[in-house]
Amino acid sequence: MNARPTAAVYTDEFFHTPNGKTAHGLVRGPSRFEIVALVDRHSAGRDAGEVLDGTRRGIPTFADLGTMLASLGKRPDLLVVGVATHGGVLPPKMRKTLLDALRAGMSLVSGLHEFLVDDATLVAAAKVAGARLIDVRKPPPLRELHFWTGAIREVRAPRIAVLGTDCALGKRTTCHVLAKACADAGIRAAIVHTGQTGWLQGIPHGFVLDSTPNDFVCGELEHAIVQCDKDLSPDVILLEGQSALRNPSGPCGAELLLGGQARATILQHAPGRRFYDGHEEAGIEIPPVADEIDLLRRYGTRVLGVTLNHETLDAAARSAAKAKVECDTGLPVVWPLLEGAAGLVPAIREYLATERRR
């Protein structure tokens, strides 16, 4: 069995912000690479896992690339761009470090919309160094894409869509937490990823939704679900949601419910947020959770429970927020990163039993 390539994750100064969510996924794991370092000047000198959630993961953090290379002794195979910016644009100040990494012989991996291969200077440096430029979000040629055919109607495993009231809430991470809770309860769950970080984490089935031409989004989703069902024969398939149901800069969710025919949903919400991420100055408010649930029901999907992101909330605020969501929705509510998702397993089990009777 071949060893995984080694990789350092580069976030410049964004690791402690929502823009560092790609790095968060790789530090928390899983990952198709062996993560050996984080480069982030605000977190330098600390373990990346401790910075993220207080759990040591043996991943040292360095202020800059040069310090990392001098300290590690052995150069990592790859440098992964660990940020996810609005619009997928590479922050200009990060470009020099990417160029230095290529000159040091490291290949680059990026999940941004701004492709590495479109930068002539990076391309030239990669050629000289014999390094690779890997753009995870670069879509396949049109001839390789799939159109929706209806083959999903033959898929045995029921689907649960993990959708959000906003973007950057941790929907992919919640999929992993849900999968673990299901496994602990004897339910075999598989994840179909829909973003670049899912690919970086090595999830075997999925596609990058927001860089797929619109005509092929539902077809690519269907193809990934069909292959997942054939390859793994899971009891349930969890579909990673993107963006938010009604965020005006990127509404998303209907594709998973209609193209993916998910008849059940887990809804992720951040009670500490009032406005959509990135639209705070415009004052665009996130609708109440109960309104989102009503919208989902109109799509014909059953909401099994609510998962909460605890950002900015202390213990007292979390207790009040959870009680309010439970009262407003009448559904089970959990904090996935704080308490896991075992509290949602009874609802998932009952849903699967209902699907078996269909």
pLDDT tens readout for residues 172-228: 999 999 999 999 999 999 999 999 999 999 999 999 999 999 999 999 999 999 999
Low-confidence ranges of the chain (pLDDT < 70): 1-2
Q: Under DSSP, is residue 107 helix (H, G, I), strand (E, B) or coil? A: strand
Q: Under 8 Å CB-to-CB from 243, ≥6 apart: which residues?
A: 164, 167, 210, 249, 250, 251, 252
Buried-exposed string 296-318: b where 16+ CB fall within 10 A, e elsewhere: beebebebbbbbbbbeebeeeeb
pLDDT tens track for 47-76: 999 999 999 999 999 999 999 999 998 999
Q: Cα dihedral sign for 277, 281, 284, 290?
A: positive
Q: What is the pLDDT of residue 1?
A: 42
Task: Delimit the domains of the chain by residue range.
Answer: 6-135, 144-356
How many whole angstroms separate alpha carbon 90 and alpha carbon 118?
12
- The reported pLDDT for the residue numbered 211 is 95
Same CATH topology for 6-135 and 144-356: the answer is yes
In the Cβ-directed half-sphere of 273, how many Cα atoms lie within 13 Å?
27
On the CB side of 116, how many CA atoms lie within 13 Å of its CA? 27
Nearest-CA neighbor of 149 among 225, 221, 219? 219
Name the CATH superfamily housing domain 6-135.
Answer: NAD(P)-binding Rossmann-like Domain (3.40.50.720)
Q: Are the C-beta atoms of 208 and 174 separated by less than 8 Å?
A: no
Looking at the DSSP bridge assignments, the partners of residue 192 are 239
CATH topology of domain 144-356: Rossmann fold (3.40.50)
- pTM equals 0.94
> What pLDDT score was predicted for residue 2?
60
